[in-house]
Amino acid sequence: MSQSRLTELTWREVRRAGERGIALLPVGSQEQHAGHLPMGTDTLLVEEVVDRALALLDREPAPPEVVRLPALPFGHSPHHLFAAAVSLSAATLGAVLDDVLDSLVTSGYRRVMVVNGHGGNDEIMRLAVKRFALRARVTVAACSYWTLTADEDGDEAGRPDVTPGHAGWFETSLMLAAHPELVHTPVPARAPVQPPPLFDHPPHPGLTVERHGEWERVDGATDDASGADADRGGRLLDGRARGLARAIRAFDAASR
């Protein structure tokens, strides 16, 4: 099998894999996901998508060699500190990514992929991979798992208006498929908050708007999760896993 976990390899195996392989780092978070989902939702889901994608690749002929690092279980969630998040500052998360990426290049890796499970990590991850590619002779990819879909997925891509949202229909469906025992059911219905939060509904397309206290005002979620569905969640997860598997293949081909 060409997919391995760095934590289980000896250092010589890690070094050897670095000659041709891709190091893959999942990044998650520990933050509030309303009253029905657990704190680790983002970490659990990114790991689930990675698990499924690597399993898909493993069934193919000549899969790219991937060394999976342990997921970073903490992310950048200052907007959820009002509700018990465990959050790294942007500077700290950026430093963690720098240190991990620098370690990998020191160990001989020339291809790295960061797979993210939490929206708040997005810009920090992208800045980190950009500066990494400037200071080291590497090719590096970054993505957030929910943005990856396979072309044929069609109507399984989810409801675009709630993808991914936060602690709503999309994430709840995925968790019902992946970790049903961690979802408090039945999930209560939730009326839309008026006005909707500016971070989710900017007043003009192309504008990013942030208002102090907005997450508290909308009670920490973006949409109604009561219609979440395990079957649909499973298909959505599989779609993302297929998308990630293809992205890994494409990255492998482009960066060899």
| Nearest by Cα to 79 from 175, 187, 220, 178 | 220
| Contact call for residue 142 and a second copy (CB under 8 A) | yes
Distance CA 124, CA 233 (A): 28
Nearer to a second copy, 211 or 231 (CB): 211
Nearer to a second copy, 99 or 231 (CB): 99
Query: Which residues, 32 to 91, sit near a second copy by CB under 8 A?
Result: 32-40, 43-44, 69-74, 78-81, 83-91
Nearer to a second copy, 91 or 231 (CB): 91
| Tokens standing for residue 146 | 């929910």
| Tokens standing for residue 202 | 């900017």
Angle at the Cα of 205 from the Cα atoms of 219 and 241, rounded to 5 degrees: 70
Name the DSSP letter for residue 61. S
Strand partners, 35: 33
CB of 148 to a second copy, least distance (A): 5
**Binds a second copy by CB under 8 A, chosen from 19, 55, 58, 130:** 130
Nearer to a second copy, 162 or 167 (CB): 167
**Binds a second copy by CB under 8 A, chosen from 61, 154, 160, 206:** 206
| Nearest by Cα to 215 from 75, 77, 29, 42 | 77
CB of 120 to a second copy, least distance (A): 8
**Binds a second copy by CB under 8 A, chosen from 20, 51, 136, 227:** 136
Helix (H) or strand (E) holding 157: none
For 14, counting Cβ atoms within 10 Å of its Cβ (0-12 exposed, 13-18 middle, 19+ buried), the class is buried
Helix orientation angle between 122-135 and 90-106, rounded to the nearest 10 degrees: 40
Distance CA 116, CA 79 (A): 18
Q: Residue 2's Cα: distance from chain center in Å?
A: 22
Contacts of 210 (CB under 8 A, 6+ apart): 198, 199
**Binds a second copy by CB under 8 A, chosen from 1, 11, 154, 160:** 11
| Contact call for residue 24 and a second copy (CB under 8 A) | no
| Contact call for residue 157 and a second copy (CB under 8 A) | no
Q: Looking at 51-59, 146-154, 156-164, 229-237, which segment touches a second copy (CB under 8 A)?
A: 146-154
| Contact call for residue 212 and a second copy (CB under 8 A) | yes
| Contact call for residue 27 and a second copy (CB under 8 A) | no
CB of 61 to a second copy, least distance (A): 20
Nearer to a second copy, 197 or 231 (CB): 197
CB of 59 to a second copy, least distance (A): 19
Q: Looking at 100-108, 156-164, 186-194, 223-231, which segment touches a second copy (CB under 8 A)?
A: 100-108
